[in-house]
Amino acid sequence: MNGNLVCLLLPNPSNKGYSLYFGVVISRDDKSLAKSANYAEIGINFMDPSIYTVALAEISKSDQISLENRFMVESTGVYLEAYYHILKIIQTMNPFTFPFEKYFAPNLQDQKRKNKQGFDVSDDKVDPPMYARAPGFRFDLSSICNDKQVRLNVADTGSYDFTARYINKYGKLDQTQAKALISALTREVALIEGPPGTGKTVVGIEIMKVLLAQQNSNTRLGPILTVCFTNHALDQFLEHLLDDNITTNLVRIGSRTKSEKVKPFNLEEICKNRKRKGNYL
């Protein structure tokens, strides 16, 4: 598909490895693709224009190499344009101040040095959020447990399953959803996935309930940024926060909201109202 990420792998005779060249599909013709069972022709735009001459030189050398040793790998389902600009911005960031650097862009050279010195470099442990690292810190979960006194001791990982059973018993989450909520509250980076209808939005709402509950005001959290893939999903999520009386302290950034409930919280509307009152941002 046009826009898909591809990687061209060509044999490197000097080290018996492969040279990798990344690009995106810019043209394809279904009729020409169906002409032969042995080859296909597509147009590729390499990510870095400076590698065109290098790649073409490698390709000309590979004419003498069996076709069986040449490969093109396509990352199906990944539309690069959706992530390209974000990835380019990340490349310009200072690696010393990059948030969550050890998870998203680990220093592989450091890992290699540690490995040579006999250290275990396969550590996949994710640290708790900074505000939850204080000795004895606990989340009060009464806001999602029908006001029952349920607390989550972040430091005591052995109590997580026990706490999940209480959440399931007194709240609206099932056991799996409760474990996902605990994972999100006890890790500074957490991923929750599942097919449609498994309750990802429900878990997200319950997480917001806990974080914004008065009982947990000691966390002193700053503004919470909520990013959704579509405008509709964002409006739906914000409507849940309003309907469940979790908070009215909202600012929706962006246009094209179709929700009358959310419209008053749109940044443009807030600016208009402040100007009418003589206040300015």
pLDDT digits (tens, 9 = 90+) for 74-129: 666 667 888 888 888 888 888 788 888 888 777 655 555 455 545 444 456 899 99
Lowest mean per-residue pLDDT among 42-51, 128-137, 257-266: 42-51
Q: Is this model's pTM higher than 0.95 or not?
A: no
Is a pLDDT exceeding 50 seen at residue 281?
A: no
Helix axes 175-186, 200-212, angle to 10 degrees: 50
Closest among 71, 76, 98, 100 to 25, alpha carbons compared: 76
Is a pLDDT exceeding 90 seen at residue 168?
A: yes
Is a pLDDT exceeding 70 seen at residue 69?
A: no
Q: What does residue 21 show for φ and ψ, rounded to 5 degrees?
A: -130, 120
Query: Which sequence spans correspond to the domains of the chain?
Result: 4-92, 130-219, 231-276
Band (277; pLDDT cuts 50, 70, 90):
low
**Tens of pLDDT, residues 196-244:** 999 999 999 999 999 999 999 888 888 999 999 889 999 999 999 999 9
Band (158; pLDDT cuts 50, 70, 90):
very high
Which of the 8 DSSP states describes residue 255? S
Q: What is the arithmetic mean of pLDDT over 169-197?
A: 96
- Residue 53: per-residue pLDDT: 82
Beta bridge mates, 72? 8
